[in-house]
Amino acid sequence: VIAAMALTSAALAFVVAVEAFRATDVPRHAQAPRGPPTRSSTAAAGPSSLFEQISLATSQASRRRLYHLVTASSKSDINDLHQRTSHNGSLESKTWTFRNKYPISYEVAKNIDTDGNDSVLETVPILLLNGFGVGSFHQHSLMQQILRLESKNEKQRYVIYGIDYLGQGRSWPENCDDGDSEDELGLGYSADTWLEQLKGFVGEIVIPLSSNKKVHLVGNSVGGYLATILAHRHPQLVESLTLMNATPVWGLNLPGWDGNLPPPKFPKLFGRLMFDVIRDVGIIDKYLEAAYVHREAFDGTHDDSFEGCSSDEGRGGQGLGAKIRACTEGKGGHAAFASILWSPPASNLTKNEISASPTPVEFYRALASLPVDVLLLFGSGDPWCTPAVAKRMHTTLADRDGFSAPVVRYVSLENVGHCPNHEAPASVARVLLSWIRAPSLSQSRKETPLVTPGEGDRIGEPW
């Protein structure tokens, strides 16, 4: 069993490594050391794109405040299950029902307009998609930084959504029993299930409140994989796509079971053993140490909750590892993990198509077919989704043809690991809003500076 567990972990690492070696050579300036920050630089990086770098300050002593903190009062809403307010926005926790059966937890963050101008503002929705094993709490720091940068003088108001996938965070069948309950019967925690969930959520919750009936998708890790396939299937719903260290593969797709619950004996036993190993507090901490360049960004030194991120005092909070562990304490986690290990990658099918043997969709082919503008925002210190992986994505997107000149931009975040949304929220918000604010017409997104020279050599992060 121990040998099988080791082989399973090695297999996923090998698949990602193969993707990196298949990439074209990365320019020397794209290789980033995991050491002290360097000065920011800008250089050309291929057709229809810019390659831009941002360096991060790594200590409180070198922090500099670049943005003004906009304050706003809270506003109650009796329809919201829970509402938290901060100095510059509110966070509402809500529930949406998927397939008329499964309660899905999601959150909405926005600034409160005290001048009564909400009705005349253009609503711009941004959907943040998480990586594996976390919930929308992983996006709170980024939500706060986006709200800080929103100006009262803008004609548009940003509404930021975070969502927990079914079988992750706080989104679970109501009566879980290790895959054997009636609510879990026939359920598969697969890429297609999560894509169906996201399509329904965007269509029922996000789009009705959008001024142009489209959404800006922002995906980290497996959230980038899902965002890419969602945009491939439903480009009419997507205004732009931002990929932050997106994983170009889905799980392991182990043989012998399709991932639909209840699991057979061996997958159930194997999934239980593996799940108990990876959710060990020590193992989670080791994983985070590998995924992040700066331990201070995840160890609880800084309060990364929505309320804590509204303060510049830097007070401590609950570490990310403890939050991840808390997501695994229910009765459905073992079966969900086994289902994910065995489930197939995303298919070319939409919800209304039926096939006995659906065809998998290959990530890079989906990427090459996207008719939407794409921003690659990658932490250069990622040990898995390396700059070589980002370079291959950039080359694939830059070679697109047959559309009305879709734009691709590639920004490298120096001294940042696998989760830029959480480790470098100030940097991500700065680049992301420059990207979103640029009109898509007349190649504005191609020409708009995403990293402004002279504004500062380094960007201080909240931690």
Asked whether the predicted pLDDT for residue 11 surpasses 50, the reply is yes
The tokens of 293 are what?
């360049």
Q: Looking at the whole model, is its pTM more than 0.85? A: no
Q: Report the C-alpha gap between 377 and 380 in whole angstroms.
A: 9
Examine residue 262 and say whether the peptide bond preceding it is cis (omega within 30 degrees of 0): yes
Beta-ladder partners of 86: 89
Which range among 241-255, 382-396, 400-414 shows the weakest confidence by mean pLDDT? 400-414
Each residue's pLDDT tens digit, 17-28:
545 445 444 333
The residue-averaged pLDDT of 239-263 equals: 93
Which range among 39-53, 202-216, 396-410 shows the weakest confidence by mean pLDDT? 39-53
Max Cα–Cα distance, the chain, nearest Å: 63
What number of CA atoms fall less than 13 Å from residue 383's CA on the CB side? 10
391 CB contacts (<8 Å, ≥6 apart)?
23, 24, 25, 26, 30, 410
More confident position, 16 or 410 = 410
Which range among 78-87, 102-111, 366-375, 407-416 shows the weakest confidence by mean pLDDT? 78-87
Asked whether the predicted pLDDT for residue 65 surpasses 70, the reply is no
The tokens of 333 are what?
């986690």
User: CB 363: neighbour CB atoms within 10 A?
Assistant: 23
**Phi–psi pair at 80, nearest 5 degrees:** -85, 140
Tell me what pLDDT residue 335 has. 95
More confident position, 92 or 458 = 92
Tell me what pLDDT residue 70 has. 22
Give the torsion sign (CA, 172, 176, 181, 187): positive
For 19-152, strand residue ranges (E) read 42-44, 50-57, 82-86, 89-98, 102-110, 122-129
Tell me what pLDDT residue 444 has. 76
More confident position, 274 or 445 = 274
Each residue's pLDDT tens digit, 105-148:
999 999 987 565 555 578 999 999 999 999 999 999 999 999 99
Each residue's pLDDT tens digit, 73-96:
223 332 333 444 445 589 999 999
